[in-house]
Chains A and B, each alone.
Chain A
Amino acid sequence: MSWDISGYEKWTWDEIPLGAMTLEGGTGVEHKTGDWRVKRPVWDKEKCKNCLFCWVYCPDNCCEAKDETMVGIDYEHCKGCGVCAQVCPFDAIHMMGEKDARAEEEGEH
């Protein structure tokens, strides 16, 4: 980040930017919303036909695609709304409890 917001918690009325502007683009990347999630979408690469419906529908740009091909899900920002699983015509995404998913992850390691 080029915009120095150190100590922002103490900013007074004359220190905040005019009209509460955010003086930098793309700051959403810094804001990790993945920990809001209760259920996570799990993507099955075998079933996926790369129709990219999920990429179109995801409100948080968390269905990641490269060269018109689905590559994965951004769990740092995914809030677990489940719309990707709803719209997938091939059942290639299913929702899984976050707790179970994490337990499974730990088991794998």
Chain B
Amino acid sequence: MQKLTEIRWHARAGQGAVTASRLVAETAMDDGMYMQAMPEYGAERQGAPLKAYTRISPDPIEIHNNILHPSIVIVLDDTLLPDIDVCEGITEDGLLLVNTRMDADEVREVAINVPASIDVKTVDASNIAVNTIGRDIPNTPIAGALAKVTDVINVDSLKKYVEKSFSEKFSEKIVAGNLASIDRAYEEVH
């Protein structure tokens, strides 16, 4: 990775997008990168569509604004696809990563406007989360999928970071479940 990478997250409030935006940023920071992570602050109510942002760069990040031209867009809830133009402003060689049972072609069909030039990847992160962690919190597995389909973060660094930071707050079982979810999403994203 040469320069600034900008990621935009789309989710509904309560799905862990803000945590995910930080998880990816902090993993990169542990690998010596500079980072930023912030949600778009507004009225906070469960289920409301929200955006969050992650920036990662080998150099200090100077710009502080909303990400309008992301190279990576991650969608945590596929019910947003027909309602919100998640690909708005995405770079020509961008990547759309969606938590869904659909495949890439179906996503292109359902979503408002997916440019032909971008890559689309999908993973059923919710199902993985239910099976490994025991709850539908797709943010950890989706980060595992991101590590597979881009070089923004490294999967080993992600697992190391999750193990370190989650151990402070959660039981061994939950930590193990999260680590397993990363492995499965890493294998299953396509």
Question: Do A and B interact directly, with beta carbons closer than 8 Å?
Answer: no
B residues with a Cβ closer than 8 A to A are: none
Q: Which residues of A come within 8 Å of B, CB atoms?
A: none
